[in-house]
């Protein structure tokens, strides 16, 4: 098996254009919540490839001079799929000038769309966003909550799915159906994730709240690069402690991360 | 005297129960953490993947890998757990959080909430707000009763884009406390249960656009 370990982000990216992994107009997932758990050095390497017209799937958009903010400064991003973009003047300016397209997803919907995409699930129903602009143009359907049905969620008037007649139909349903919105799974051409530790197979361990979107993104892209702080030997990560199994990861780069803090808050 | 922001959070903290799993929104709701009654075991959930938020760190304890939903550095209490954003929102959407306390721009008499965007202003996104109001067992809103220009925020119908429909269980403002009773009217109605010290029911009515019922006995907040 070819090694997955690379010495630097630029080496890990060196042949990706010729391999067709990096191309203009591609979709890329980038892990992190705020600046916590972002693959900061991989973002810089992606910028340096000069790729243009990116669709970025990332919970946030970095700050002006760090994280995805760097790719906004160079206008390499055409569209963001995010839940919250916070304080980023570059983002705001490009958005207001119509240069940047934004699709806001509720954070849980975004996380679940990525999880679903990685799990081969094309679509799912969720109550989040029902009756709001998020549901506009999407299929909706009244369903009972999973906790209200016997043997699964039910469709009003049609008894229990697959158990009609047997379970007594509508008579044993409890509670009012509520509206659910059909959301689709997400899958990208490339995912850049940040983990704390990796072994040569690509088994990953995340650290504290730097985990966030990284594990799902590692499953939901055709090519996955992990930025890590530590590479250990095969077998040095207890099999029970692996967060992302190594099969999901194509390349691993050990870096020294700056790990910038957005809101340093301390107690006296 | 209308309640101060701190007094609103003190009142909100009275809704906590021993063993509750609670998500506190950014801003005023975060302050509720300062008023958890002594001896009560409450677990605070952070949507970015932490159950068991501890106090803010000392300078030496600051860890860039450990933040809350407001991106502030925090600590984790003994017994805490970390998980992915998908697991975190499964916890939220699956009904495994007992209560959330959120701020709002508007609440309607039917329990709709608007707290994520103002048309014409820069939209920053809804973050996890839509998931929280859709999935958490009890949704408590804390907000100023009126906007700075005096306009009602507790309204008949929200004219701002909604975060969720018919999801608010309790509204705590600087003037009064309202509890949503699902059995009243067609589809439920808020009931005024408490007023701030020195505030009359008529004054609350005059400063509210929403229709609401008044409890038989209206208590005074904090009394």
CATH number of the domain residue B33 falls in: 3.40.1080.10
Please state, rounded to an integer, the average pLDDT across all residues of chain B.
96
| Cβ atoms of residues B47 and B25 within 8 Å | no
CB contact under 8 A, A107 and B93: no
Give buried/exposed letters for A203-214 (b at 16+ CB in 10 A, else e).
bbbbbbbbbbbb
| Cβ atoms of residues A171 and A217 within 8 Å | no
- 8-state DSSP, A202: -
- Three-class DSSP category at A99: coil
Q: Any idea of the CA torsion for B195, B198, B200, B203, to the nearest 10 degrees?
A: -100
Q: What is the pLDDT of residue A149?
A: 63
Does the beta carbon of B74 lie under 8 angstroms from any beta carbon of chain A? yes
Q: What is the pLDDT of residue A169?
A: 41
Asked if ipTM goes beyond 0.90, one says yes
Q: For residue range A127-138, what is the model confidence (pLDDT) as tens digits?
A: 999 999 999 999
Q: Write phi, then psi, for B43 (nearest 5 degrees).
A: -105, 120
Could you give the number of structural domains in chain B?
1
Give buried/exposed letters for B37-55 (b at 16+ CB in 10 A, else e).
eeeeebbbbbbbbbbbbbe
Q: Average pLDDT, stretch A233-259?
A: 97
Q: A39 contacts in B (CB within 8 Å)? A: none
Report how many Cβ contacts below 8 Å link chain A to chain B.
Answer: 172
Please state, rounded to an integer, the average pLDDT across all residues of chain A.
91
* pLDDT above 70: residue A173: no
Please give, rounded to a whole number of angstroms, the shortest distance from the CA of B40 to a CA of chain A. 22
Count of other CB atoms within 10 angstroms of residue A136? 9
Q: What is the pLDDT of residue A176?
A: 76
| Cβ atoms of residues B154 and B112 within 8 Å | no
Q: What is the pLDDT of residue A150?
A: 52
B185 pLDDT band, cuts 50/70/90, is confident
* pLDDT above 90: residue B197: yes
pTM of the predicted structure, to 2 decimals: 0.95
Give buried/exposed letters for B198-216 (b at 16+ CB in 10 A, else e).
ebeeebbeebbbbebeeee
- Which residue from A114, A196, A262 is facing B71, i.e. has the nearest CB? A262
Does the beta carbon of A93 lie under 8 angstroms from any beta carbon of chain B? no
Does the beta carbon of A140 lie under 8 angstroms from any beta carbon of chain B? no
From the list A53, A37, A22, A42, the residue with the least C-alpha distance to A222 is A22
The yes-or-no answer on residue B216 being catalytic is no
Please give, rounded to a whole number of angstroms, the shortest distance from the CA of B155 to a CA of chain A. 17
Does the beta carbon of B139 lie under 8 angstroms from any beta carbon of chain A? no
**How far are the Cα atoms of A39, A108, A114, A132 from residue A185, in angstroms, in the given order?**
23, 13, 6, 20
- Three-class DSSP category at A72: helix
CA distance A161 to A178: 16
Does the beta carbon of B194 lie under 8 angstroms from any beta carbon of chain A? no
Q: Which residue has the higher pLDDT, A162 or B172?
A: B172
**How far are the Cα atoms of A120, B15, B51, B178, B192 from residue B11, in angstroms, in the given order?**
46, 8, 23, 12, 14
Does the beta carbon of A96 lie under 8 angstroms from any beta carbon of chain B? yes
- Which residue from A36, A108, A206 is facing B89, i.e. has the nearest CB? A108
CB contact under 8 A, B123 and A104: yes
CA distance B208 to A66: 45
Q: For residue range B97-149, what is the model confidence (pLDDT) as tens digits?
A: 999 999 999 999 999 999 999 888 888 999 999 999 999 999 999 999 999 99
- 8-state DSSP, B63: -
- Which residue from A92, A108, A264 is facing B131, i.e. has the nearest CB? A108
| Cβ atoms of residues B86 and A115 within 8 Å | yes
Q: What is the pLDDT of residue A162?
A: 37
User: How many Å is the Cα radius of gyration of chain B?
Assistant: 18
Structural domain range at position B10: 5-220
Q: What is the pLDDT of residue A266?
A: 96
């Amino acid at each position: 098996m070819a090694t997955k370990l690379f010495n630097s982000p630029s080496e890990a990216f060196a042949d990706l254009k010729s391999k067709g992994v990096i191309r203009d107009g591609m979709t890329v997932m980038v892990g992190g919540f705020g600046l916590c758990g972002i693959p900061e050095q991989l973002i810089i390497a992606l910028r340096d490839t000069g790729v243009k017209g990116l669709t970025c799937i990332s919970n946030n958009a970095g700050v002006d001079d760090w994280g995805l903010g760097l790719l906004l400064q160079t206008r390499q991003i055409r569209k963001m799929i995010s839940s919250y973009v916070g304080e980023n003047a570059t983002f705001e300016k490009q958005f207001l000038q119509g240069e940047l397209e934004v699709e806001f997803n509720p954070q849980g919907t975004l996380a679940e769309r990525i999880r679903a995409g990685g799990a081969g699930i094309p679509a799912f129903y969720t109550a989040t966003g029902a009756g709001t602009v998020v549901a506009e143009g999407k299929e909706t359907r009244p369903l009972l909550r999973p906790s209200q049905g016997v043997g699964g969620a039910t469709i009003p008037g049609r008894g229990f799915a697959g158990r009609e007649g047997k379970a007594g139909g509508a008579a044993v349903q409890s509670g009012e159906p509520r509206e659910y919105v059909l959301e689709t799974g997400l899958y990208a051409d490339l995912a850049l994730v940040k983990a704390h530790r990796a072994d040569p197979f690509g088994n990953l361990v995340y650290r504290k709240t730097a985990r966030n979107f990284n594990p799902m993104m590692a499953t939901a892209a055709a090519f996955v690069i992990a930025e890590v702080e530590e590479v250990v030997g095969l077998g040095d990560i207890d099999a029970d402690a692996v967060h992302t199994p190594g099969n999901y990861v194509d390349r691993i780069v050990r870096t020294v991360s700056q790990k910038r803090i957005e809101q340093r808050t301390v107690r006296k | 005297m209308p309640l101060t922001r701190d007094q609103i959070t003190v009142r909100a903290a009275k809704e906590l129960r021993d063993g509750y799993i609670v998500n506190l929104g950014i801003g005023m709701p975060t302050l509720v953490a300062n008023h958890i009654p002594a001896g009560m075991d409450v677990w605070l959930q952070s949507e970015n993947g932490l159950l068991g938020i501890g106090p803010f760190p000392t300078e030496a304890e600051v860890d860039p890998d450990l933040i809350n939903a407001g991106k502030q550095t925090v600590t984790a209490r003994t017994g805490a757990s970390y998980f992915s954003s998908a697991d975190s929102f499964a916890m939220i959407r699956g009904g495994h959080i007992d209560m959330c306390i959120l701020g709002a721009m508007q609440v309607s008499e039917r329990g709709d909430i608007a707290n994520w965007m103002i048309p014409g202003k820069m939209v920053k996104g809804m973050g996890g707000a839509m998931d929280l109001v859709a999935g958490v067992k009890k949704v408590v809103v804390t907000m100023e009763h009126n906007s700075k220009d005096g306009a009602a925020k507790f309204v008949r119908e929200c004219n701002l884009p909604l975060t969720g429909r018919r999801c608010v269980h309790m509204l705590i403002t600087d003037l009064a406390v309202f509890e949503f009773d699902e059995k009243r009217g067609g589809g439920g109605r808020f009931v005024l249960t408490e007023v701030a010290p020195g505030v009359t029911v008529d004054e609350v009515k005059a400063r509210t656009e929403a229709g609401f019922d008044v409890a038989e006995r209206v208590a005074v907040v904090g009394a």
